[in-house]
Structure 1
Amino acid sequence: MEAISKFPYTHQPLRSISFPTRVNPSSQRIESLLNNLKPHHQHPLSSNNYSEAEKIHSDLVDLAEIYNCMEEFFNSQQTKQSLLHYQDGKLISDSLCYSVTLLDACECSRDLLLVLREHIQTLQSAIRRRRKGDSSIENSVSCYENFRKKTKKKISNQLMQMKKMQNKVNSFSLCDQDQQLVFLVRVLREVNTITISILSSVLLFLSMPTIETKGSSLISKLKPMMLFSSEKEVKNKNEIKDLNKALCSLIGREKNSDYSISEGQRALRLLETLNINIDSLEGGLDCIFRCLVKHRVLFLNMLAH
């Protein structure tokens, strides 16, 4: 998918946009943050858009700052008048519709992370309590895998809804020479695109390939050559994928009566790392959810007056 807008600094009237002479100073901060995020979110719904939790969290922090700056910017009387007067508030109405999709995706992501945390805690307990002949590890991994399978449908639905929203955002065009209005449209368009991209990154982070292969049980498909136990292994770009491989290794050795303490310790370290990452993602999503709610209330108040 092509980027929503690239806006190179040329002499084209609608692409080379300077700030209105009397605009809230926060607009400059919005522009700076957008320019920082846009290069990393040129393809919002790419199937290859897998990111590390740390990168996603960093993007969530920057996105929250954009929304905070937008709140200040959109509260100015000049901005409100421009938004309300254009096609009887079409920009506001569209933004309200988009906010529902974004809030749903954000809430879905938070719910999935909450359940994932519960499975992590169960896996940690099972590994620590492990004793020869105890099947609690295998059972816990199977429950974790079943959860991961069930999430795929939810994630697919959310991504589909955001794709529909992205198509609507792409289709909107503005034939207006008003400098203030052109800037507002560009900001709303790019913020929506970046928000879609970052939320889809969270969902894709959670939807890494499952452990089990279709048509086979979790244990029977585990092959010795698929296992790894060396700490010198190249780190994967996704922590969940890393954990899946570690669990394969752990259960595979259990099946072959070749369990090693180091294998269990490795799995515990990965689980702890993922638990910390979930904390950061939850915090970032909570902040974005509040920002989206405030943004929606701001637009609703504009229509009410």
Structure 2
Amino acid sequence: MACHTRSLSLPNRTHSFVLKAEEELNKLRACVAYPSLSYEIILDAVKAVGHVYECMNDLLCISSNQISLSHLQQRRQIDEELEESIKLLDICSISRDNLDIFKSHIQDLELAIRRGESKSMKSTARDYTILVKKANKDLRKQIAKKSESADKDSSTVFSLLFETRQITISLLQSIFSYLSQQIVSEKSSNWSLVSRLMERRRIVCEGEFDIACLRVNVEALENGLENLFRNLIQCRVSLLNLSSL
């Protein structure tokens, strides 16, 4: 969705923050347009979203901007954004916790591979897949509660916040879509990677390396969401300060 900058809605000295946020959002719009994203693109996008929220926080903290946004015309938008920020914090927190659980199961799978315990490998892979599917389902339920489209009369700050929130939710979906395809083939009920791991030692070594890489990827995504979570909290604090003016 396009988000147009309105020069009259913000003081001139805030334009650099708006331009920086728009630059990051332009990259993110291109990312979320694809149905399936690679790990590298997802991780870069999570970092970019964090940068956008940093810009939003800077905008909200500028005293002259606070005065313009604290007018009665903006009060409703501030209240709505505060409500939506709580929902997004909950979604981000749950997603981050799920990644920690996934990481634990991947570590169990690594241990089973090293020990050559085929039964444990299958069981752990199955548990991992069930958890990812449940996380996907829970995330979809949360997303079903998303807000309506941004008001056409919204100020630049709230238009940017709205679009960034929608992109953030799309990225969280992409994270779980990516993770769901790493151990189990999307088109098959067979544990494709696990089956290959049991064929011969060379493939076991390759598979062990693949699982280790997946664990490292999950850790990086977890750290990315942790940083995003902190940015979201800072942005919410700025909104609360704004609402008290």
Match of 2:212 in 1: 272
Contact 1:51 1:205 survives alignment (8 Å) = yes
Question: Of 84, 87, 97, which residue of structure 2 is paired with 1:101?
Answer: 87
1:28-84 deviation digits (Å, cap 9, x = unpaired): 211211122122224xxxxx7332221111001111111111111111123222332
- The whole-number CA distance in structure 1 between the counterparts of 2:169 and 2:68 is 25
Q: State the TM-score, normalized to the length of structure 2.
A: 0.86
Question: What residue identity is the alignment partner of 2:120?
Answer: N
Contact 2:11 2:64 survives alignment (8 Å) = no
Q: CA deviation at 1:17?
A: 4.0
For structure 1, the residue ranges without an aligned partner over 5 or more in a row are 8-14, 43-47, 131-135, 176-180, 223-243
Q: CA deviation at 1:120?
A: 1.6
Q: CA deviation at 1:102?
A: 1.5
Q: Which has the higher helix share?
A: 2
The alignment covers a number of residue pairs equal to 242
SS in 2 for 1:173: coil
For structure 2, the residue ranges without an aligned partner over 5 or more in a row are none
Q: Percent identity?
A: 26
Question: What residue identity is the alignment partner of 1:286?
Answer: E
Contact 1:117 1:278 survives alignment (8 Å) = yes
Question: Of 38, 61, 70, which residue of structure 2 is paired with 1:84?
Answer: 70
How is 1:170-185 mapped onto 2 (pairs within 5 angstroms)? 170=149, 172-175=150-153, 182-185=155-158
Match of 2:57 in 1: 71
SS in 2 for 1:187: helix
Q: CA deviation at 1:111?
A: 1.6
Contact 2:93 2:229 survives alignment (8 Å) = yes
Match of 2:193 in 1: 246
Match of 2:114 in 1: 128
**Aligned in 2, Cα 1:280/1:80: closer, same or farther, shift over 3 Å?**
same
How is 1:19-30 mapped onto 2 (pairs within 5 angstroms)? 20=10, 22-24=12-14, 25-30=16-21
Question: Of 188, 192, 199, which residue of structure 1 is paired with 2:165?
Answer: 192
**Aligned in 2, Cα 1:104/1:204: closer, same or farther, shift over 3 Å?**
farther
Contact 1:64 1:291 survives alignment (8 Å) = yes
Residue 117 of structure 2 is aligned to residue 154 of structure 1? no
Question: What residue identity is the alignment partner of 1:100?
Answer: I
- The whole-number CA distance in structure 1 between the counterparts of 2:69 and 2:96 is 32
Q: CA deviation at 1:263?
A: 1.7
Contact 2:133 2:180 survives alignment (8 Å) = yes
Contact 1:211 1:248 survives alignment (8 Å) = no
Q: State the TM-score, normalized to the length of structure 1.
A: 0.70
SS in 1 for 2:202: helix
Question: Of 99, 103, 126, which residue of structure 2 is paired with 1:145?
Answer: 126
Q: CA deviation at 1:18?
A: 4.3
Q: CA deviation at 1:88?
A: 5.5
